[in-house]
Amino acid sequence: MRTRDVAWSPAAPTPIDDDLPAQVTRMRRILGGSAPLILTGAGVSTDSGIPDYRSPHTVPRTPMTIDMFLSSPGFRRHYWARNHLGWRHMDAAKPNAAHHAITRLQRAGLAGAVITQNVDMLHLKAGNRPVVELHGCYGRVRCLHCGWRISRHRLAEILEPLNTDFVRRVRGRGAIEVAPDADVVIDETDDFRMIDCPHCGGILKPDIVYFGESVAADVVAEAFRLVDAADSLLVLGSSLTVMSGLRFVRRAHRAGIPIVIVNRGATRGDPIADLKIDHRCADVLDTYCLDA
What architecture is the 20-50+95-135+213-292 domain classified under in CATH? 3-Layer(aba) Sandwich (3.40)
Q: Return the pLDDT at 53.
A: 59
84 among known catalytic residues: no
Q: Where are the domains of the chain?
A: 20-50+95-135+213-292, 56-92+138-208
Which residues have a Cβ under 8 Å from the Cβ of 150 and sit 6 or more positions away?
140, 141, 142, 204
Beta bridge partners of 37: 233
Render pLDDT for 63-89 as a digit per residue (tens, 0 to 9).
678 999 999 999 999 999 999 998 998
In contact, 137 and 125? CB cutoff 8 Å: no
Binding site feature residues? 143, 146, 197, 200
Render pLDDT for 167-195 as a digit per residue (tens, 0 to 9).
999 887 655 666 666 677 787 899 999 99
Binding site feature residues for Zn(2+)? 143, 146, 197, 200
pTM of the predicted model as reported, rounded to 2 decimal places: 0.90
Beta bridge partners of 140: 151
Render pLDDT for 117-153 as a digit per residue (tens, 0 to 9).
999 999 999 999 999 999 999 999 999 999 999 999 9
Q: How many other β-carbons are positioned within 10 Å of the β-carbon of residue 231?
A: 14
Residues in the chain: 292
CA distance 20 to 283: 8
Render pLDDT for 49-64 as a digit per residue (tens, 0 to 9).
987 755 555 555 566 7
Using only C-alpha atoms, the chain has a radius of gyration, in whole angstroms, of 20
Helix (H, G, I), strand (E, B) or coil at 114: strand
CA distance 267 to 107: 29
Q: Return the pLDDT at 176.
A: 65
In the set 100, 123, 135, 279, the catalytic residue is: 135
Q: What is the SS3 string spanning 219-275? A: HHHHHHHHHHHCCCEEEECCCCCCHHHHHHHHHHHHCCCCEEEECCCCCCCHHHCCE
